[in-house]
């Protein structure tokens, strides 16, 4: 195994430009899980970002909350201002593993890992977040989270690009929901995850563990936008069928996931909007 | 296989002392502590970040040392169960918080963190703070009662 230890972003992206199969590492929680048993994980080269100080910390501007790529879940959990403005980020972060994972796991790492069951990604997507991809020679572009993933663990990020920042637009929301259905409250990976927001830009409904990637649910958003009467969870199943394609796996079944997603959406909105009764 | 391969020298503050170690890039902090530095109080349970038996404090916050590559400990402050004063955890012994003992070092470390940060209990329950330390013997009530009792022990160590 090899590790490179850049001290600034310029060095880091220069290293990636030369050697595109380096694996960038922030807190390492998703990567070290594989070290004891997967020999191929030991033969890879890693790009350790922990010495890149400029990737630490959060910044507020008039328009955005910006997270450096090394920002951990725990930093968000303990930040009262994030709790006031982006309540779902704190709620989701508190359900990632427990303190030992929250203290090391990062929002950017959660995005990069690309798990369809990620807990951080759905709320970022529901808040309209964007991710900054930097590359050698000073290149950088912002990509909206909801167009970031292309397939299971695949994204628009090129191998020579590094996630450097995540920014969340500051906005008012009338509805904010995060629900995670897992086997237990802590230390569990979601069977179904749902983030829902409604603000000036309309509804955003984001599902986790329901498709090869975390994704916006266009058909449900359309139903909600036209205020179609929803009188029971089953009224959502047709839209859910269009939006997602869950599978049977070790954590749950496709049928359970679809019905649970319908129930979670229904009960989260019942009584809070006039057309869900 | 040139740059970045081979052993790496790191230094960290370990239990209040500056220490250096030569580590392989594929080495976990858990292994460095136990096998290079002889601190065997930290236990390996699941080895995949689930059980918390290998918990240590890194810059004052609990981490699973099985998920920290040793090279990320460079320049950091690490505290292991060996750094905890016996008197701080005496109540764990009398409350039935331990049985087989595999999870105990991790529980002691997390409990020490909670002791230092009473403000955490304004936003979190003790059960949520301790949720990353699994125990297959006690059923948790004894653990929670024991940790609760340690919160009021006098003479908090630093």
DSSP codes, chain B: --TT-S-EEEEEEETTEEEEEEE-TT-BHHHIIIIIS--TTS--SSSSSSS-TTEEEETTEEEEGGGSBGGGGTT-EEE-GGGS-HHHHHHHHHTT--SS-SSHHHHHHHHHHHHH-GGGGGTS-HHHHTTTS--SSS-SHHHHHHHHHHTT-SS---
How many alpha carbons fall within 13 Å on the CB side of residue B86? Answer: 0
Q: What share of chain A is helix, strand, coil (3-state, %, to 5)?
A: 35, 25, 40
Architecture of the domain whose range is A173-269: 2-Layer Sandwich (3.30)
pTM: 0.95
Please report which confidence band the pLDDT of residue B3 belongs to, taking 50, 70 and 90 as the band edges. Answer: low
Q: What's the confidence (pLDDT) of residue B152?
A: 83
Domain spans of chain A, in order of start = 173-269
Q: Is A154 helix (H, G, I), strand (E, B) or coil?
A: strand
Give the position of tokens 């572009």.
A141
> What is the chain A residue with the closest CA to B46?
A33
Q: What is the distance between the alpha carbons of residues B129 and A97, in angstroms, rounded to a whole number?
A: 11
> Which CATH code fits B84-150?
1.10.150.120
> What is the chain B residue with the closest CA to A29?
B67
Q: With an 8 Å Cβ cutoff, are A104 and B132 in contact?
A: no
Domain spans of chain B, in order of start = 8-81, 84-150
Query: Is residue B1 scored above 60 in pLDDT?
Result: no
Does residue B62 belong to the interface with chain A, where contact is any CB pair within 8 Å?
A: yes
One pLDDT digit (tens) per residue for chain A, 277 residues:
899 999 999 999 999 999 989 999 999 999 999 998 888 887 899 999 999 999 999 999 999 999 999 999 999 999 999 999 999 999 999 999 999 999 999 999 999 999 999 999 999 999 999 999 999 999 999 999 999 999 999 999 999 999 999 999 999 999 999 999 888 777 788 888 999 999 999 999 999 999 999 999 999 999 999 999 999 999 999 999 999 999 888 889 999 999 999 999 999 999 999 999 9
- The superfamily in CATH containing domain B8-81 is Beta-grasp domain (3.10.20.30)
Q: Which residues of A touch B133 (CB under 8 A)?
A: 98
Q: With an 8 Å Cβ cutoff, are A1 and B26 in contact?
A: yes
Which residues in chain B (8-47) have CB-CB distances under 8 A to chain A?
8, 24-26, 28, 47
| Mean pLDDT for all residues in chain B | 92
> What is the chain B residue with the closest CA to A189?
B50
Q: With an 8 Å Cβ cutoff, are B72 and A103 in contact?
A: no
Neighbouring CB atoms inside 10 A of B125's CB total 11
Q: With an 8 Å Cβ cutoff, are A35 and B28 in contact?
A: yes
Q: What's the confidence (pLDDT) of residue B107?
A: 96
Helical H runs in A106-253? 107-113, 120-126, 218-225, 237-243
Give the H/E segment covering residue A176. strand A173-181
Alpha carbon of residue A4 to chain centroid: 26
Q: What's the confidence (pLDDT) of residue A68?
A: 98
> What is the chain A residue with the closest CA to B58?
A103
Give the position of tokens 């179609």.
A228
Q: What's the confidence (pLDDT) of residue A196?
A: 97
């Amino acid at each position: 195994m090899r590790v490179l230890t850049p001290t600034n972003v310029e060095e880091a992206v220069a290293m990636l430009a030369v050697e595109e199969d380096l694996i960038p590492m922030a807190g390492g929680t998703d990567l070290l899980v594989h070290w004891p048993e997967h020999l191929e994980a030991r033969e890879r080269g890693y790009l350790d970002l922990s010495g890149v100080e400029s990737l630490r910390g959060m910044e507020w501007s008039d328009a955005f909350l910006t997270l450096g790529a090394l920002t951990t879940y725990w930093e968000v959990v303990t930040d009262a201002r994030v709790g006031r403005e982006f309540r779902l980020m704190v709620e989701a972060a508190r359900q990632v593993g427990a303190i030992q994972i929250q203290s090391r796991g990062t929002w950017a790492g959660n995005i990069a890992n690309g798990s369809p069951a990620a807990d951080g990604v759905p709320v970022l997507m529901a808040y309209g977040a964007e991710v900054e991809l930097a590359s050698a020679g000073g290149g950088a572009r912002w990509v909206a989270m909801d167009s970031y993933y292309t397939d299971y663990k695949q994204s628009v990020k090129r191998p020579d690009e590094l996630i450097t920042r995540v920014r969340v637009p500051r906005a008012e929301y009338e509805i904010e929901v995060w629900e995670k259905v897992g086997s237990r409250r802590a230390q569990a990976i979601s069977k179904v995850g749902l983030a829902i927001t409604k603000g000036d830009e309309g509804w955003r409904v984001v599902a986790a563990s329901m498709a090869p990637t975390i994704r916006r649910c266009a058909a449900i958003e359309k139903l909600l936008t036209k205020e179609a009467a929803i009188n029971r969870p089953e009224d959502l199943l047709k839209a859910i069928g269009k939006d997602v394609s869950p599978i049977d796996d070790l954590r749950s079944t496709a049928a359970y996931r679809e019905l649970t997603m319908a129930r979670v959406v229904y009960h989260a909105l019942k009584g809070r909007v006039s057309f869900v009764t | 296989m040139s740059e970045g391969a081979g052993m790496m020298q790191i230094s960290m503050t370990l239990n209040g002392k500056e220490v250096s170690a030569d580590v392989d890039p594929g080495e976990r902090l858990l292994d460095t502590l136990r096998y290079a530095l002889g601190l065997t109080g930290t236990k390996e349970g699941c080895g995949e970040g689930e059980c918390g038996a290998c918990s240590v404090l890194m810059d004052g916050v609990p981490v699973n040392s099985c998920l920290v590559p040793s090279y990320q400990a460079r320049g950091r402050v690490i505290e292991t169960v060996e750094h905890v004063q016996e008197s701080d955890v005496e109540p764990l012994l009398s409350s039935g918080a331990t049985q087989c003992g595999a999870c105990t070092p991790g529980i002691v470390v997390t409990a020490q963190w909670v002791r230092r940060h009473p403000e955490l209990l304004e936003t979190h329950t003790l059960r949520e703070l301790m949720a990353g330390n699994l125990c297959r013997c006690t059923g948790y009530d004894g653990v929670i009662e024991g940790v609760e009792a340690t919160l009021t022990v006098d003479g908090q160590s630093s």
